[in-house]
Chains A and B, each alone.
Chain A
Amino acid sequence: AQTVTQSQPEMSVQEAETVTLSCTYDTSESNYYLFWYKQPPSRQMILVIRQEAYKQQNATENRFSVNFQKAAKSFSLKISDSQLGDTAMYFCAFMPNSGYALNFGKGTSLLVTP
Chain B
Amino acid sequence: DTGVSQDPRHKITKRGQNVTFRCDPISEHNRLYWYRQTLGQGPEFLTYFQNEAQLEKSRLLSDRFSAERPKGSFSTLEIQRTEQGDSAMYLCASSLRDRLSNTGELFFGEGSRLTVL
Contacts and interface: CB of A to CB of B under 8 A. Distances in A.
A91 B108 CA distance: 13
Given A100-B31, A100-B48, A101-B56, A46 B108 contact: yes
Given A101-B33, A105-B42, A44 B109 contact: yes
Nearest to B104: A33
Q: Interface residues of A: mostly helix, strand, loop or mixed? A: strand
Interface of A: 4, 33, 35, 37, 43-47, 50, 91, 93, 95, 97, 100-107
B105 A47 contact: yes
A45 B91 contact: yes
Given A100-B31, A100-B48, A104-B42, A50 B105 contact: yes
B-side interface mostly: loop
19 contacts: A33-B103, A33-B104, A37-B108, A44-B3, A44-B4, A44-B108, A44-B110, A45-B43, A50-B104, A91-B42, A93-B42, A97-B102, A100-B48, A100-B56, A102-B43, A102-B106, A106-B42, A107-B41, A107-B42
A43 B110 contact: yes
Chain B contact patch, size range: 20 to 34
Nearest to A96: B104
